[in-house]
Amino acid sequence: MPAAAALALDGVEVTLGGRRVLDGLTFTAAPGAITALLGPNGAGKTTTIRVLTGLVPVDGGTAQVLGRPAGHPDALARLGLMPQATGAWSSIRPLELLRYLAGLYARPHDVHALAEALGITSFARTPYRRLSGGQQQAVNLAGALVGRPEFVLLDEPTAGMDPHARRRTWGLVRQLADAGVGVLLTTHAMDEAAQLADHVWIMDAGRIAIDGTVAELTATESLEDVFLRHTGAQA
Ligand SMILES: Nc1ncnc2c1ncn2[C@@H]1O[C@H](COP(=O)(O)OP(=O)(O)OP(=O)(O)O)[C@@H](O)[C@H]1O
């Protein structure tokens, strides 16, 4: 494993509800780079993100985040998380939410500037539960970024977004990486991974099936063909 990896999972095993969900998962993500984690439904991508945040303890192997064991307060303070769904917010308004989250960090972004950059301003005072799925995604992304993280975990960041919002989000992810922020994103959109990622890891049934740069993986076939060849529909 590269000494300078921002994220480093080595032989991670996780069992949930009696089922082995991560089964010797080993992968790394470099600081300041965009890393994509792909895999069929149920392959274990969200569980991996939960391991990286310390929400799910590992049963075997090791998980390091920014030089600390996953879940360590020093790592969490430097990490941003955009979860797949945040049903918890309900009636809070985006601007209130961002102000609240900003208050948890030492050097947060200006919430108005962040709302503007993410196209949130026009619905910043609408209760979260009344927002469309794509609008909720934009708010979730803002929440991941407001603390000025060194590394962000984005779980299907553009799911449900229209093409405008998707392109805006891609631009933002690139800007983050250009500014030195590391990004791990999960996605089912092969074009998204191909457009954005410096390195792609494809998971199947709780472990890595293949990885490489987009250029390496797509030398002779499309990323979707590589994906289909190395993964199966999960049980
Ligand atoms: N708390 C839990 N208890 C039992 N099983 C769980 C739990 N959380 C996840 N699983 C199972 O672990 C497997 C991996 O789930 P996970 O959400 O990590 O997959 P994923 O790759 O993110 O899928 P998707 O692409 O559909 O979001 C699934 O079979 C899921 O049912």
Give mean pLDDT, residues 139-160: 93
Measure 189 CA to ligand 1 centroid, in angstroms: 19
Give CATH superfamily name and number for 1-78+184-235.
P-loop containing nucleotide triphosphate hydrolases (3.40.50.300)
Amino acid at site 62: T
Strand partners, 37: 186, 201
Domain residues of the chain, as ranges? Answer: 1-78+184-235
Per-residue confidence band for 1, with pLDDT thresholds at 50, 70 and 90:
very low
ipTM of the complex: 0.97
Burial class (CB in 10 A: 0-12, 13-18, 19+), 136: buried
97: phi then psi, degrees, rounded to nearest 5: -60, -45
Among 45, 51, 234, name the best residue to mutate to test ligand 1's pocket (greatest count of ligand atoms within 8 A of Cβ): 45
Tens of pLDDT, residue by residue over 64-109, are 999 999 999 999 999 999 988 666 667 889 999 999 999 988 899 9
Reported pTM: 0.93
